[in-house]
Structure 1
Amino acid sequence: MNNRGGIMKRNLWITIIPAILILLIAVGCNNLGKKPIPEKIGSSQNAKEASFRSNKNVKNETIKVIVEVAKPRDITRYIYTSGITEGITDITMKSQVNGTVEELYKQLGDWINKGESIGKIDNIEYEAQLKQAEANLMSAQASYNSFKLQMKAAERLYKQKAISENEYISTKSNLQKAEAALKGAEASLKIAQKNYNNSKFISPVDGYITDLPLKIGETITAGSPVANIVNSNKLIVNTGVGESDILYLHKGQTVMLNYRDKIQKEGQIIGVGVSKKNNTATYPVKIEVVNSNERLFPGMVVTCKIYTQTYRNVFYTSEDNLIRELDQTYLYTVTEDNRAKKLAVTTGKVIEGNVIIKEGLKSGMRIVTDGIENLSDGTPVQIKITRKY
C-alpha cells in the first residue's frame, strides 16, 4: 500500500508542474507588448505643461480657439468685506424699582418715542412720594425766600447799628440753613420723580420694541428686563479689513451693501481704526447706512463693497489666460496667419481675477482665452469667437 501511495503522489506532481510552467509562459508573453503606465501628474499646472509638451509634435493639427482683442480699458479695484447689521440704537431697558405690573401700553414690534411710557407698575406709593417731595420743595422754597428777605433787612439794620452782631450772624446762619434745606428738597424731588418715572417704564430712546417680557400681574424687582428697544432707521455694520487694504479707506467713503443679492443699500464709512483688533489681523471699520424704508433688519449678514481706485487705459486679461513657467509669464496670441504665438509679458496688480499687463501686449493683439491647453508655439488655429470690448 505505501508503494502505491508514493507512486500516486509522483504522478500528481508530474501533472501539476508542466501546467504551472505553461501558465507563467503565457502571462509573460501577454505583457511583452504592453507599455509601462505613466505616473499621474500631481497638479493642474503640471497637467497643462505636460499637455503643452505633448502637443509640440502636433503643430500641423488645427486647434479651435476663442480670442479677445487687446484694448486699453479702465478697471476698478474694490475692497470686499462683510459684517452684521446693528441698530443705531440698541438697548435693554431694566426696571429700577420693585412692584407689580399693572398696565402695558405697548406691544412687541411697536415704535416708541423717547419719553413715552411702555406701561406701569402699581405706583401709588411712588406717586405719593413724588407729591410729598413736591410739597417739601415748596415749603423749603418759601422758607428760603423768607430768610432771604430777613437777611436783607438784617444787613440794613446792622449797618445802622440797630441790631447786634449776634443777631446779624444768627439771621445769616438761618439763611444758609434754609438754602441747604432747599437744595436737599430739590434733590429729594429728583429722586422721587425718577422713581415715579421708572414705575411707568419711560423709554430713554426712540426705536422699535424688539422684546417685551413683561406680563400684567407679575411682580418684578429692580434689575429685571423690561424691554429691548432698537432703532433701525439707521444701521451700523462693524467689520474689518487687512493691512493691505486699510491704507485705501477713510471716513466719508461710500460703501455698497448687499444682502443676498436681494437688497442693495448705499452706506458710508464713519470710523476707521488705527490699530488691529485684539487677537486678529484686521483693522476695525465702522459703516453707517440710512435704512429709511427699513428693508434691512438688525442681525442680517451683508457684503460690503468699497471703491478704492480706478486704473485708467490699461491692458488686462483674466488670470486663466496666463501661463507661468519658472519666473516668466506668457500669453498665447494669434498671428495674422492664424498661428499661436507664445508672448512673454510683464504683469502688474491682480484685480478681481484680472491681471494688468504692464509690458509685452499691444492694442489689437488677439489673446487666446479658450483652447490654451492644446497650444504650442506655432500651432495652426481656427478662431471660433472673437470678443471685442
Structure 2
Amino acid sequence: MKKVLLGLFGLVFVALSVWLGYYFYKKANTDPVVYKTEAPFTTDIVKKTVATGSIVPRREVQIKSQVSGIVEELYVEAGQRVKKGQLLAKIRIVPNIVSVNNAESSVQTARINYEEAKREFERYQQLYEQKVIAEQEYRKYKADFDLKREAIQSAENNLQLVREGASKRSGQSSNLVYSTIDGMLLDVPVKVGTSIIERNNFNEGTTIAAVADMGSLVFEGKIDESEVGKLKENMDLLLTIGAIEGRVFNAKLEYIAPKGVEEEGSIKFPVRAKVMLDDKDFIRAGYSANADIVLDKREKVLAIKESMLKFDKEKSYVEVETAPQVFEKRQVITGLSDGINIEVISGLKKTEKLKVPDANLAQNM
C-alpha cells in the first residue's frame, strides 16, 4: 500500500514539473507588449448640436375663390411659375335659387320705381319749360329720376353677379381666379368638375392653388430644451438634406421660439433659419433636413483624440513617449471638444508621440 502511494505521489510530482516547465518556457518566449502611439495633429474643432425639421418657403399663399360653384377651367398645373395677376382657373357658378329670386324681385321693383319716376320727371319737365314751376322743384324730380335710373342699373348688375359672377359695370368677373403673388405653383388640389366653396367669414373656402416664392426658403425645425439655452440669433447652421446627397447647405439662425411645445414626452423649441442658396440651387418644398447648429468653432488648432485623455481628480493628462516604449504622465490644458477630437491649449508639441491608453489598442509584437 505504501508503495502505491509513493508511486501516485511521484506521478503527480512529474506532471506538475512538466506543467511548470512549459509555463515558464512560454512566458520566456512571449513577445513583450508594444503600445501603439499617435501624434497630436492640426485640425478644425466644431462644437455643434442638431435640430431636425424640413425646408419650407418663407412665403406660401393659398389661392381661393370668391364664389362657390364648379371648376370649369384650369389654366395651370403644379410646378409652373406664375406671375401676380395671372389667370389660374374659371369657376362656373351654380346660382342659389333664393338669391336669384330676390335679385329678380329687386330688378322688378327698381323698374316699377323707375317708370314712375320717369313719368313724374317728364311731366314736371314740361311744366318747367312752360315756366309754371320753379327750377328748384324741377331739379328735385330730376334728381329722383336719376336715382331711380341708377337703382335699376345696380339691381340688374346684382342679378348678373348672382347668375354669372360677373358685372357689366365693373368689367370684372368674380368667377375668375388669379394669382396674388409671383412664384411657383406647389400644388393645384382641384380638378375640372370639382365643387368648391367660396371663402367668407364662416369658412376658409376651397384652395384652388398653393403658390410660393421658391427663391426664399427657410429651415423650420425643433431643438431639445437642454440645448436651446446655447443658441442665439445669427448662428451658423449646416443643413443636410436627405434627398440631396453629397451637399451641405449654409443657413443663418433667425428665430428661436420663446415657448416650447411638448413632443414625445420632452419639451422642444421651434427654430427657423434662412437657407443661403446660390442662383443655380433648386430645393423642393417639404424636404426633410437636419441642421447642425455651430455652437463654437476653432480653426487649425493642435488637437488629439479625446479618447487618449486621462483624468486624475480634476486634472487631465496624457502619457508622452520619452524613449522607445517608455512613457511619462504629463498634464495638459484642453479647450473645445467636438466629442471625438479635443483642442490642446498647452502641454504638448506636435512632434511628440502619445501612448494609446486603451488596452484593446495594445498589440503583441
Which band: TM-score by shorter chain? 0.5 to 0.7
Question: Which residue in the other structure is 2:80 paired with?
Answer: 110
Aligned CA RMSD, in angstroms, stands at 4.7
Query: Which stretches in structure 1 are left out of the alignment for 5+ residues?
Result: 1-28, 34-58, 133-162, 383-389
The answer as to whether partners of 1:345 and 1:360 remain within 8 angstroms in 2 is yes
Question: Which residue in the other structure is 1:85 paired with?
Answer: 55
Q: Using a 3 Å threshold, how does the CA distance of structure 1 residues 278 and 121 change in structure 2: closer, same or farther?
A: same
How far 1:85 sits from its partner (Å)?
A: 0.5
The amino acid of 2:57's aligned partner reads G
Aligned length: 272
How far 1:240 sits from its partner (Å)?
A: 4.1
After superposition, the C-alpha distances for 1:60-109 in whole angstroms (9 at most, x for unaligned) are 924041311467x6634444433201122223333331223222111232
Q: Using a 3 Å threshold, how does the CA distance of structure 1 residues 243 and 329 change in structure 2: closer, same or farther?
A: same
The answer as to whether partners of 2:39 and 2:350 remain within 8 angstroms in 1 is no
How far 1:267 sits from its partner (Å)?
A: 2.6
Question: Which residue in the other structure is 2:196 paired with?
Answer: 220
The answer as to whether partners of 1:92 and 1:229 remain within 8 angstroms in 2 is yes
1:256 correspondence with 2:243: no
Q: Please, which of 11, 26, 37 is the counterpart of residue 66 of structure 1? A: 37
Query: Which stretches in structure 2 are left out of the alignment for 5+ residues?
Result: 1-11, 17-29, 104-133, 199-204
How far 1:195 sits from its partner (Å)?
A: 12
**Identical positions, percent:** 20
The answer as to whether partners of 2:306 and 2:342 remain within 8 angstroms in 1 is yes
After TM superposition, the score normalised by the length of structure 2 is: 0.58
Structure-2 separation of matches of 1:375 and 1:302: 37
Structure-2 separation of matches of 1:122 and 1:332: 84
Structure-2 separation of matches of 1:90 and 1:74: 39
The answer as to whether partners of 2:306 and 2:339 remain within 8 angstroms in 1 is no
Question: Which residue in the other structure is 1:272 paired with?
Answer: 256
Q: Using a 3 Å threshold, how does the CA distance of structure 1 residues 258 and 197 change in structure 2: closer, same or farther?
A: farther
Q: Using a 3 Å threshold, how does the CA distance of structure 1 residues 335 and 266 change in structure 2: closer, same or farther?
A: same
The answer as to whether partners of 2:68 and 2:93 remain within 8 angstroms in 1 is no
How far 1:312 sits from its partner (Å)?
A: 6.5
1:320 correspondence with 2:290: no
The answer as to whether partners of 1:263 and 1:295 remain within 8 angstroms in 2 is no
Q: Using a 3 Å threshold, how does the CA distance of structure 1 residues 311 and 254 change in structure 2: closer, same or farther?
A: closer
How far 1:326 sits from its partner (Å)?
A: 5.7
How far 1:259 sits from its partner (Å)?
A: 1.9
How far 1:235 sits from its partner (Å)?
A: 1.2
Structure-1 separation of matches of 2:50 and 2:207: 38
Determine helix, strand or coil for the equivalent of 2:214. strand
How far 1:199 sits from its partner (Å)?
A: 1.3
> Between Structure 1 and Structure 2, which shows a larger proportion of helix residues?
1
The answer as to whether partners of 1:97 and 1:195 remain within 8 angstroms in 2 is no
Structure-2 separation of matches of 1:266 and 1:106: 33
After superposition, the C-alpha distances for 1:339-366 in whole angstroms (9 at most, x for unaligned) are 1334344544422422234554355331
1:209 correspondence with 2:177: no
How far 1:282 sits from its partner (Å)?
A: 4.4
1:298 correspondence with 2:285: yes
The answer as to whether partners of 2:45 and 2:336 remain within 8 angstroms in 1 is no
1:238 correspondence with 2:238: no
Structure-1 separation of matches of 2:32 and 2:208: 80
The amino acid of 2:274's aligned partner reads E
The answer as to whether partners of 1:340 and 1:381 remain within 8 angstroms in 2 is no
How far 1:381 sits from its partner (Å)?
A: 10
Q: Using a 3 Å threshold, how does the CA distance of structure 1 residues 373 and 104 change in structure 2: closer, same or farther?
A: same
The amino acid of 1:364's aligned partner reads T
1:285 correspondence with 2:255: no
How far 1:117 sits from its partner (Å)?
A: 1.5
How far 1:330 sits from its partner (Å)?
A: 3.6
Determine helix, strand or coil for the equivalent of 2:36. strand
The answer as to whether partners of 2:62 and 2:211 remain within 8 angstroms in 1 is yes
Question: Which residue in the other structure is 2:120 paired with?
Answer: none
After TM superposition, the score normalised by the length of structure 1 is: 0.55
Question: Which residue in the other structure is 1:335 paired with?
Answer: 322
How far 1:115 sits from its partner (Å)?
A: 1.5
After superposition, the C-alpha distances for 1:142-196 in whole angstroms (9 at most, x for unaligned) are xxxxxxxxxxxxxxxxxxxxx9xxx8xx99xx9xxx9xx99xx8xx99x977995
1:365 correspondence with 2:341: no
1:94 correspondence with 2:77: no
